[in-house]
Amino acid sequence: MKVIAPKLRTDAGIAKSVITNVFSGLPPAEMLNYLNFLHASIRFLSSYCNDRWGITLFEYGVSLNAGWSEVLVLHRDGLGVLVEREAAPSGTTFETDHILLAAGCDFTKVQLSELHRTLPSLSPAHIIAMSFAAEWNIGNDIREAHSTGVIDYLSESLSQPLSNPSYAARAKSAAPSDAHLSRRGL
């Protein structure tokens, strides 16, 4: 799972290319559902704890982190969504083979073709999970891998401005190890 080079992570065009590639062959509405859900997740994290989240662009997709937990992971095989178990809709299937630092939370995997049906019902449980995950400070590897190009792409494509985390201007440009950034092979 290769992280995009630091200079390329600042490019909204590269972010668009990666995300568009993940959704190739699917209805454009599914990509729009993802972009809106990601935008809402980042808006929440920005208002809740503006220095405890980061987003990383990989060759395969995108990972949104809060604290030390991935909270939203996009790749061709689906969208991993961190949810608080008790608040998740009944019938939610959990992937319990992950080490998480968000008590009472787990991942569920959503097929990309089902985002329009599933994301609205997961949203309340996802917001709770992000608040739990954000109780932890993020590490330097997540800060250093923060991809401002994804924020720029989201802001442009949805015509709704987003801010980067408060630390983004101070972040170094060195790429962290892949092992720290993506501990799940969803």
Measure the CA–CA gap between 13 and 185, rounded to whole angstroms: 25
| pLDDT for res 6 | 74
Query: pLDDT tens digits, residue range 8-33?
Result: 888 899 999 999 999 999 999 999 99
User: Do 162 and 42 touch, CB atoms closer than 8 A?
Assistant: yes
User: Do 184 and 73 touch, CB atoms closer than 8 A?
Assistant: yes
| pLDDT for res 58 | 92
Average the pLDDT over each of 75-84, 109-118, 132-141 and give the range with the smallest value: 132-141
| pLDDT for res 51 | 86
Name the token pair of 177.
């190890």
| pLDDT for res 17 | 96
**Is the Cα dihedral 3, 74, 157, 142 positive or negative?**
negative
| pTM for the structure as a whole | 0.86
Helix (H) / strand (E) element for 116: namely: helix 115-133
Measure the CA–CA gap between 142 and 181, rounded to whole angstroms: 7
| pLDDT for res 177 | 41
| pLDDT for res 142 | 78
Name the token pair of 182.
């993506």
Q: How far does Cα 183 stand from its chain's mean position?
A: 13
Query: pLDDT tens digits, residue range 60-101?
Result: 999 999 988 899 999 999 999 999 999 999 999 998 666 566
The domain segmentation of the chain, as residue ranges, is 8-168
Asked if the model's pLDDT at residue 110 lies above 80, the reply is yes
Strands 69-75 and 62-66: antiparallel
| Residue 2 neighbours by CB distance under 10 Å | 10
Measure the CA–CA gap between 173 and 132, rounded to whole angstroms: 28
Query: pLDDT tens digits, residue range 161-182?
Result: 998 888 786 443 334 444 444 4
Region 33-61 average pLDDT = 93
Name the token pair of 36.
């809106």
Measure the CA–CA gap between 170 and 131, rounded to whole angstroms: 24
Instruction: Report helix, strand or coil for 31.
Output: helix
Q: Which residue has the higher pLDDT, 24 or 50?
A: 24
| pLDDT for res 97 | 61
User: What is the percent of the chain where pLDDT is above 90?
Assistant: 61
